[in-house]
Amino acid sequence: MLTKRIIPCLDIKNGRTVKGVNFENLRDAGDPVELASRYSREGADELVFLDITATKEKRKTLIGLVERIAAEIEIPFTVGGGIGSVEEMGDILRAGADKVSLNSAIVQNPDLIRHSSDRFGSQAVVAAIDARATGNSWEVYVKGGSEPTGLDAIEWARRVEMLGAGEILLTSMDRDGTKSGFDLELLQRTNTVTTIPIIASGGAGTIGHCIDAIRSGKADAVLAASIFHFREIEISELKSEMKKAGIPVRI
């Protein structure tokens, strides 16, 4: 079994790290450069940076902040938000990111996945899917979770892999910030139609939730924000308990 990853997430608004519930009621969580440096030192496997209002505000990702964070860390770094072209993706990678997360832009132009993968390799292309439950299915939302698309999230996950995405960042909007646990059914259903790694996002509140996401949800990585930002759970503690549970992790 491949090593499972722990990934803190920096949701950025106005240059600060923020965290909300169900994509709303944002509160300040600290300086992103300081948090990134701390997570790199404390054993995070990767880091995700999402400029959560860039697409909605029709502007580009904060490249200067990306450069400052990249200079402070020694772990793989994924950046998303407001990236709408192969050229903009190149700018982000040159600024120090290892991967780029694409969401709204690939719903509007799915071929962007193929073009990006051809240019930079599939390992650099992360398809971010923000999904909200609608009865027995899940609908894809874009623009920071503010706009429904009518797309079925499971079918969209299958399609982004076919187009060349190397990884999926799968966020349950219903669980986001609630600390009530990951949407295991969403993870399981997505895993039945894809073979690329899936990062579970939305709902982390306890160590048990993270273990469940990997064991039951079959996730390849767990992403969390507030439990790390506010030191409710230490990364070293989480990894130790995961190892005790028989999950391979990098210590």
Contact 248, 4 (CB under 8 A): yes
- Taking 70 as the threshold, does the pLDDT of residue 150 lie above it? yes
User: What's the CATH superfamily of 5-244?
Assistant: Aldolase class I (3.20.20.70)
Instruction: Look at residue 17 in the predicted model and tell me its pLDDT.
Output: 83
What pLDDT is attached to residue 207? 98
Beta-carbon contacts of 44 under 8 Å, excluding residues fewer than 6 positions away, are 6, 7, 8, 75, 235
pLDDT digits 0-9 by tens, 230-243: 999 999 999 999 99
pLDDT in tens, 44-63: 999 999 887 766 665 566 88
Residue 115 scores a pLDDT above 90: yes
What average pLDDT does range 121-147 have in this prediction? 95
Q: What is the pLDDT of residues 63-104, one digit of tens each?
A: 889 999 999 999 999 999 989 999 999 999 999 999 999 999
Q: What is the pLDDT of residues 22-33, one digit of tens each?
A: 656 566 777 999
Confidence of residue 15 (pLDDT cuts 50, 70, 90): confident
- Active-site residue set: 11, 130
Structure confidence at residue 24 (pLDDT):
60
User: Considering the chain, what is the average pLDDT of its residues?
Assistant: 93
